[in-house]
A and B are shown apart, each in its own frame.
Chain A
């Protein structure tokens, strides 16, 4: 209940600044462009596809790449959304409003996490509308779409949790943005080394830790509970770290 109050305020402040609207517009424009070019590509190869056996469907050709691109674009966007979460409140000294109110650190952190998650969910819904528009002229593989959507939601929640933690470390929103962007990018490219043929055990571990590896599986429509648990663990870890960081602030500062 209390965390919903915090989440609501977070969401409201987001929409009071032009940032939220700009992000919605920019993401939508870029993804719409990519969506159309993907459709165009599909139209070109459609003729050739008809003769082949076991052809990839429209969902596989259009939806999966678009969700892959969406993840990369949102990797750039989420740090901008999460950077202010705690650092800005610390700088404006509004944190004491939350600290002296009867609510726990966990409620504060979860509230902020839910606020940004709600906004990102809105972006996911807007992205989903584009493939759904294909229903006018064809049919979709809904299982695959659902799995991709779930993957994107989990991935964005992971971005948010990490960004929230980075924001709890500093009083400068820009520093929070840069460090969460850096950390996310690092976690993204971790599997590049692991992809080569002579992958040693160490590289395998690195690849397994990569955010993108688990997302790709979900994009292919492979729902593996290990991938889901990876994301949930990732989210919980960074939320717990944020709570601990805020608690430590009262002790040290």
Chain B
């Protein structure tokens, strides 16, 4: 049994509003899963349901084989959760707070100190153990939140937008911390910042309006981002027919300021043939750029195309 988390047809309604609908996915051991979606897509709701903070309207969550509703104690022992706003008691010191959360997670008295020290070390908190949480900067508070989530060495760490509100350096540090966590734990990470997913995750899931619209590995997403077009600039451009004759080229269209855009079949990249033809026929090709879609475009593509389908279904 390799899947650590199984989510099965999870739905959640807030009154008539559908926040999450029929969501099913699995997370395997040692995987970092990126949970991507625009604001209000249902990311946080899903995460709350996976951690027992919110009861699902329908569906099932199984963590390491334990059902979250039937055996909540065993299931919750397997997870560490950092909500969107870290659940910190501002009046406690970092040490006190971590000791408290260690005790809440049933760490025995003898191992308590070691657990607190390990968590502090991993999150870079060794110097601030005696300081009050309320006096720490946002970045450090976020780290305390992550330390709280990993203190009992859970199989699965669930982080809800862990880098929101941090400065770029802190973001980099938190990201490398998450990558480090991924070596020993499975991690689910929600975000609406796309490069973050590329930087950290093994697999991506995009959810929109409570539905899973895309699920693939990072490599798959990369491939999807390689769009099938080239941008050419030539001093003596040939007729369109000549370009279309080259194997692989499917369409030619003029682009702005003398450029031409060539669409091609992804299996058959015609770049080399184009250069050779240019040399042979004297087109004076001086620029050839493979066009690459940004993650944003892919994201918009995926979330928007889904809407079109939906609207068609309705009409």
Contact = CB atoms under 8 A, between A and B. Distances in A.
Interface string B92-115: 100010001101111000000000
A197 interface: no
A133 interface: no
A97 interface: yes
A94 B89 contact: yes
Q: Tell me what chain A mostly uses at the interface: helix, strand, loop, or mixed.
A: helix
A250 B55 contact: yes
A94 B148 CA distance: 12
A69 interface: no
B87 A95 contact: yes
B54 A102 contact: no
Contacts of B55: 250-251
A93 B76 contact: no
B85 A100 contact: no
A95 B52 CA distance: 12
Interface string A93-134: 111111111111000000000000000000000000000000
Interface string B30-64: 00000000000000000010011111000000000
Interface residues of A, number: 24
B85 A99 contact: no
Contact of A2 (B77, B88, B91, B106): B106
Nearest to B74: A102
B299 interface: no
B73 interface: yes
Q: B interface, how many residues as a size bin?
A: 20 to 34
Interface of B: 14, 48, 51-55, 72-74, 76-77, 79-81, 83, 85, 87-92, 96, 100-101, 103-106, 148
A103 to B, nearest CB: 6
A5 B73 contact: no
Contact of B104 (A17, A95, A98): A98
B85 A97 contact: no
Contacts of B89: 9, 13, 92, 94
A16 interface: yes
